[in-house]
Amino acid sequence: MMEEEELEFVEELEAVLQLTPDVQLAIEQVFPSQDPLDRADFNAVEYINTLFPTEQSLANIDEVVNKIRLKIRRLDDNIRTVVRGQTNVGQDGRQALEEAQKAIQQLFGKIKDIKDKAEKSEQMVKEITRDIKQLDHAKRHLTTSITTLNHLHMLAGGVDSLEAMTRRRQYGEVANLLQGVMNVLEHFHKYMGIPQIRQLSERVKAAQTELGQQILADFEEAFPSQGTKRPGGPSNVLRDACLIANILDPRIKQEIIKKFIKQHLSEYLVLFQENQDVAWLDKIDRRYAWIKRQLVDYEEKFGRMFPREWYMTERIAVEFCHVTRTELAKIMRTRAKEIEVKLLLFAIQRTTNFEGFLAKRFSGCTLTDGALKKLESPPPSTNPFLEDESTPEMEELAMEKGDLDQPKKPKAPDNPFHGIVSKCFEPHLYVYIESQDKNLGELIDRFVADFKAQGPPKPNTDEGGAVLPSCADLFVYYKKCMVQCSQLSTGEPMIALTTIFQKYLREYAWKILSGNLPKTTSSSGGLTISSLLKEKEGSEAAKFTLEELCLICSILSTAEYCLATTQQLEEKLKEKVDVSLTERINLTGEMDTFSTVISNSIQLLVQDLDAACDPALTAMSKMQWQNVEHVGDQSPYVTSVILHIKQNVPIIRDNLASTRKYFTQFCIKFANSFIPKFITHLFKCKPISMVGAEQLLLDTHSLKMVLLDLPSIGSQVVRKAPASYTKIVVKGMTRAEMILKVVMAPHEPSVVFVDNYIKLLTDCSTETFQKILDMKGLKRSEQSSMLELFRQRLPTPPAGPEASSSLSLLAPTPEQESSRIRKLEKLIKKRL
């Protein structure tokens, strides 16, 4: 019973001592211990096994038990001491709390005493400093009163002096006095409620008004709008009056400037009236020479009369520009029918030169009103053609190289006066556009005549096909027009010029390029099969002469040059035109036209070589393949095809050396045309014996090797054929080889033959299977049973995307085909 009670006690104790992980971790941090008895996961069995690892160690059991009992006794003593020490803790805590409360009460009382004493001290300081504050306020008020009285005295005296000096026109003294009076009057803004102050302010305003009217009258007397001539030099009185105008209402200054400039330009309006001979565009230089003389005359006579910050010289020039633009626009509207291109360009050139002169002389700081803001905006900063260092020869050279977008040198700062006069010519630029339309039409006609006179370009197999020189001339002319027009306007005239460019790009493409492509003929030139099979006479099979082939390649190279340069031209036009009009510039249609010329040229080259090989393929299909007794070297028709390829392809490759990508396109298109045609003629070879099929297989392999080597055939530099081209040749010719292998296979047993066909060709077409049966020379009865079996053995195509993958799995890999062909070659060698 005792043991059971002890066990229950131990279990209860363990249940009570199950601490949470957080508590256990905190205990370990506060009381770190390495004793296994202090661990939370203490295991008595493991601990005993540690103390007695072997049976021999049980001999020391009494000693170990004594040590544990001693440890238990010490723990009991420690626990007893701690428990006894905690009996008086509660009483001590209450006593300490009472003592703390008493201390807080004492501290609160002391703080209250200190606060009372501070309030008494503050009251005492206020009583002491009350008199001092009163003295400070009195001093401040007295100082303000004295200052205000002094200002009032100065204001009253200044107003009296100002009125007296105004009557005597002592503008030099008035200028300084008026500024001082204005400064003093600012101090009295808050005293305007006082009648005397308000009266003085009104007298100052009246004096300013009187000064303004008096100065305007003096200027009107000195510079009358009509009547007497101007005085010989400036007046000191007027110079001082200008200093006063700077202080008065800005409208006075503007009125003085306006009247002086109007009077200064009155002679110009008389000399260059609309009915005068010098007013027309051919004598526009005289206008600019006149204003230059007037500016020099102004500097000598009146340069010191007006303040420098009025920029009177620039204002005169700007007003002259406005008047000139208005007058030129009026006279050009009246005499629009008399405007010719040379005259218009002459006037524009002289005007832009004058605007450049103004930009070098003046800063453009007076261009502030809204009308000038638009004129002030310079042309696009990306314009690379306004550089002083560039020359027409350099531009033509860059254009010939197709280098329209070369980085340019940094150009001079923009001209703030650009368009201030030349804007008036923009409505009449249609004359320039019409002239360019006419010139470009004549240029295209000259290109056509030169081509007919000079004939096609000479064969050139060393440096590649030459680009027609006329295309470089056309784009050089385009660039000149574009630069010239962009200097005249970046608005609608540029759009009109772009339309003209589009028109003649299309005409060049059709009249010069497409119009001069050699025409194909439907007949075969009277060539016989026997002549095709003679190697010495194989050159007669070419439908195009050497000169015609070179011409096609030259036209193709020219179209490629035009395509690339047209794209650059579009980019440059977008740079030069206003940002709001860039969307209206689109030369995509013209680029498509040149792409069509390129495609047609390649198609002509393909058709020519294809047609040259047709008689050889026809000869192949007409041979008696069932009578072939042994397998020999390649057949004559293969030799003929190879001969035509070796004649044409090197010429085309050398003439397209500068456009390798289009030569690759030619090879791909020829392979896509020749291989299906070869397979079609292959089906016409019927019936075929076993030996005949082997000979055809050897011929097919020979053609395959030649086609794979087509891009570099006849070249000293051997290059690897493009992967895209190789893939087409391997796929097409492998199909031809598989057809022949099926023909070579025995048709008995039928199931094996049909399965072999499906495996090799992966072609589920009944028509193709019928053609192969014809090639084997089977009877109709045998063919009917074969076709019925073929339909039964056809695999059911899976639905969805698995169909294509399953069909591709049936196709033999190129490695398998190459090994089969090697076996066939060995077999042929053995028979030979």
Task: Reply yes or no on whether the pLDDT at 367 is more than 90.
Answer: no
Q: Average pLDDT of the chain?
A: 77
Under 8 Å between Cβ of 640 and 616: yes
Distance CA 245, CA 676 (A): 96
Q: What is the pLDDT of residue 250?
A: 77
Task: Calculate mean pLDDT across residues 30-55.
Answer: 78
Most confident of 363-377, 379-393, 685-699: 685-699
Distance between CA atoms of 712 and 508, rounded to whole angstroms? 33
Asked which of 275-284, 361-370, 547-556, 567-576 is least confident by mean pLDDT, the reply is 361-370
Most confident of 11-20, 40-49, 246-255, 577-586: 577-586
Q: Per the structure block, which two tokens stand in for 825?
A: 């070659």
In tens, the pLDDT along 607-646 reads 999 888 999 999 988 888 888 888 878 889 989 999 999 8
Distances (CA, A) of 154 to 174, 189, 200, 421, 602: 15, 15, 11, 53, 99
Q: CA-CA distance, 828 to 698, in Å (whole number)? A: 9
Higher pLDDT, 329 or 241: 329
Residues 6+ apart with CB under 8 A from 760: 738, 741, 742, 812
Q: Choose the weakest-confidence range: 164-178, 284-298, 377-391, 573-587.
A: 377-391
Are the CB atoms for 725 and 664 separated by under 8 Å?
yes
Mean pLDDT value across residues 549-570: 91
Predicted confidence (pLDDT) at residue 405 exceeds the cutoff of 70: no
Give CA–CA dist 741/759, Å, rounded: 11
Residue 727 confidence (pLDDT) above 70: yes
Angle at which helices 780-793 and 750-761 cross, to 10°: 60
Tens of pLDDT, residues 775-808: 888 878 777 888 888 787 776 655 444 444 443 3
Would you mind telling me the total number of residues written for the chain in this entry? Answer: 832
Lowest mean pLDDT among 211-225, 406-420, 529-543: 529-543
Backbone angles phi, psi at 365, to 5 degrees: -70, -15
Torsion of CA 677, 713, 727, 617, to 10 degrees: 10
The band of 716, judged by pLDDT with boundaries at 50, 70 and 90, is: confident
CA distance 185 to 149: 13
| Helix, strand, coil in percent for the chain, rounding step 5 | 75, 0, 25
How far is residue 322's CA from residue 376's CA, in Å, rounded to a whole number? Answer: 13
Does residue 348 have a pLDDT over 50? yes
Among the residue ranges 284-293, 623-632, 680-689, 808-817, the one predicted with the least confidence is 808-817
Does 187 have pLDDT greater than 70? Answer: no
Longest dimension (CA), the chain: 149
Tokens of 106: 């004492």
Q: Nearest to residue 521, comparing CAs of 451, 601, 607, 600?
A: 607
> What distance in Å separates the CA atoms of residue 238 and residue 249, rounded to the nearest whole number?
17
Q: What is the pTM of this model?
A: 0.61
Q: Is residue 604 exposed (0-12), middle (13-18) or buried (19+ Cβ within 10 Å)?
A: buried
Structure-model confidence comparison of residues 612 and 403, the more confident one? 612
Residue 471, pLDDT > 80, answer: yes
Alpha carbons 605 and 612: distance in angstroms, whole number: 11
Return the ∠ at Cα 413 (arms to 412 and 414), rounded to 5°: 115
Q: Output the CA torsion 757→759→765→771 (10° steps).
A: -20
Residues 199/269, Cβ–Cβ less than 8 Å = no
Among 228-232, 351-355, 530-534, 737-741, the range scoring the smallest mean pLDDT is 530-534
Which of 23-32, 407-416, 623-632 ranks highest by mean pLDDT? 623-632
pLDDT given for residue 13 in this prediction: 57
Please tell me the predicted confidence (pLDDT) of residue 403.
43
Reported as a single tens digit per residue, the pLDDT across 121-130 is 888 888 788 7
Average pLDDT in the 513-523 region?
Answer: 73
Provide the 3-class DSSP secondary structure of residue 416. coil
pLDDT at 527 over 60: no
**Number of CB atoms found within 10 A of residue 115's CB:** 10
pLDDT at 559 over 80: yes
pLDDT at residue 568, rounded to an integer: 92
Annotate 437-472 with DSSP letters as a single string. Answer: HHHHHHHHHHHHHHHHHH-SPPP--SS-PPPPHHHH
What value does the mean pLDDT take over residues 153-167? Answer: 69
The whole-number pLDDT of residue 3 equals: 60
State yes or no: pLDDT of 413 exceeds 70: no
Burial 371-399 (b: 16+ CB within 10 A, else e): ebeebbebbbeebbbbeeebeeeebbebb
Segment 594-611 shows an average pLDDT of: 92
**Is the predicted pLDDT of residue 595 greater than 90, yes or no?**
yes
The answer to whether residue 710 scores a pLDDT higher than 80 is yes
Q: Summarize the confidence of residues 667-673 as an average pLDDT.
A: 93
Look at 38 and 822; give whichever has higher pLDDT.
Answer: 38
Q: Is residue 493 over pLDDT 70?
A: yes
Instruction: Report the pLDDT value the prediction gives residue 810, as an integer from 0 to 100.
Output: 40
* Structure confidence at residue 162 (pLDDT): 67
pLDDT at 411 over 50: no
Percent of the chain beyond pLDDT 90? Answer: 13
What is the C-alpha separation between 528 and 330, in angstroms, rounded?
79
Q: Which residues of 501-538 are buried (b: 16+ CB within 10 A; e: fewer)?
A: bbebbebbbebbbbebbbeeeeeeeebebeebbeeeeb
pLDDT at 131 over 90: no
Quickly state the pLDDT bin for 669 (edges 50, 70, 90): very high
Percent of the chain with pLDDT over 70: 77
**Which pLDDT belongs to residue 352?**
86
**Contact (CB, 8 A) for 527 and 609:** no
Question: Comparing 819 with 675, which gets the higher pLDDT?
Answer: 675
- Supply the pLDDT for residue 263: 81
Provide mean pLDDT across the span 49-57: 81
For residues 358 and 417, the answer to whether their CB atoms sit within 8 Å is: yes
pLDDT at 10: 59
Distance CA 218, CA 240 (A): 12
Distance CA 457, CA 455 (A): 7
Q: How far apart are the first and last CA of the chain?
A: 115
pLDDT at 593 over 90: yes
Q: Is the model more confident about 418 or about 164?
A: 418
Q: What is the mean pLDDT of residues 385-412?
A: 39
Cα–Cα distance, 778 to 151 (Å, whole number): 134
Contact residues for 308 (Cβ-Cβ < 8 A; gap 6+):
none
Burial class (CB in 10 A: 0-12, 13-18, 19+), 243: middle
More confident residue, 222 or 575: 575
pLDDT at 663 over 60: yes
Nearest by Cα to 21 from 35, 38, 7, 41:
41
Q: Among the residues of 303-388, which ranges form H helices?
A: 312-334, 341-361, 370-376
Give the per-residue pLDDT at 809.
35
User: How high is the pLDDT of residue 812?
Assistant: 45
